[in-house]
Amino acid sequence: MEHEQVILVGVDGSPASLNALEWAVAQARQVGWRLHLVCAYAVPTFAAASLDGGYAALDDTAIREGAQAVLDEAVARVADRGVEVTSALETGDPAGVLVDLSKQVCLVVVGTRGRSGFAERVLGTVSSALPAHAHCPTVVVPLHEGDEDNAPPLPINRIVVGVDGSDSAKVALNRAIEQAEVWDAELTAVVAVPIGAGAGILGWLPAAVDRESVLADVKEGLNVAVDRALEGRDLVVRRHALDGNGAALLSEFSTAVDLVVVGSRGRGGFAGMLLGSTSQQVLHHSACPVMVVPTRVQDEGLPPIAMGWKRRK
């Protein structure tokens, strides 16, 4: 499987998708990659009231023209931004289309409306299902209630990445380091241990523990993981081992940074749909864009960001 240096953006004409498009343009300019805009639509098929009991498809002319207009508007919006742009109109379930196309690109960017009742819980079909099944990192850019005129936080000056020693977290850490290098951003690696009141509920951590000793041990493990990932790189990474819930802490960090990076096992099926509790909860509650990096990234030959990147003056 060969991934091209392309950023795929799903657009549907909504303020949330246009907000995500702005983020994707900035990323494409920074790394020197092509931007590929896709608008996907699906048309239902109904049983026809005919003697032969066959099926009839709706005339999709109007829907297709509407989708093309949305795509054309998005392309015009990013014209003359110094980024190579291509576009395509696709038929099919938008989430499925983007998952399939993720096999050929290095990054997918979509938008979602956050913190708004039911939408907060489900995130939208695309932004919820895509990170679980994508073959490359996915960035979900939130648009919060009342923020329609606000641009996503750019440039990226501060990044936080969740690290817990798992393979998925190691892959996420590597991508976070690359993002920090590209943007010359401050990177903070965070590992969380629920030592407080919630620990007893989890059942795996005794109630009577030496809090400072546990955090010191965890911090040592974090240092080892970060030092290995930084081998041969000239980058300073802040490290924090904190008492608390990982998703809650990362969501709290999201109010003060420009990008949160988390890993996902991306195993597919029901487990894949859930993404893992941390990444799912962070997606639901983050105040800034979230990059979800599936473990399969390390097996599918994605080129490092630096391959297409030249520091912008």
Question: How high is the pLDDT of residue 119?
Answer: 35
Query: What is the pLDDT, as a whole number, of residue 59?
Result: 67
21 and 88 share a domain? yes
311: in domain: no
Tally of domains within the chain: 2
Do 73 and 102 lie in a common domain? yes
pTM, entire model:
0.85
At residue 297 the predicted structure's pLDDT band, cuts being 50, 70 and 90, is confident
12 neighbors 105 (Cβ within 8 angstroms): no
Q: What is the structure's pLDDT at 23?
A: 95
Stretch (H or E) spanning 217: helix 211-229
The whole-chain average pLDDT of the chain stands at 81
Q: Looking at residue 192, which CATH number applies to its domain?
A: 3.40.50.620
Q: What is the pLDDT of residues 76-132, one digit of tens each?
A: 999 999 999 999 999 888 889 999 999 999 999 999 864 433 333 333 567 777 888
Angle between helices 277-285 and 246-253 in degrees, nearest 10: 30
Whether 112 contacts 127, CB under 8 Å: yes
Last residue of a domain, one of 102, 120, 150: 150
Same domain, 95 and 199: no
Domain boundary among the residues 150, 182, 209 is at 150
Give the C-alpha separation, 49 to 70, whole Å: 33
Q: Looking at the structure, tell me whether residues 210 and 137 fall in a common domain.
A: no
Q: Is 294 in the same domain as 157?
A: yes
Domain holding 171, by residue range, is 153-304
Q: How many residues does the chain have?
A: 313
For 97-153, give the secondary structure using H, E and C. HHHHHCCCCCEEEEEEEECCCHHHHHCCHHHHHHHHHCCCCEEEEEEECCCCCCCCC
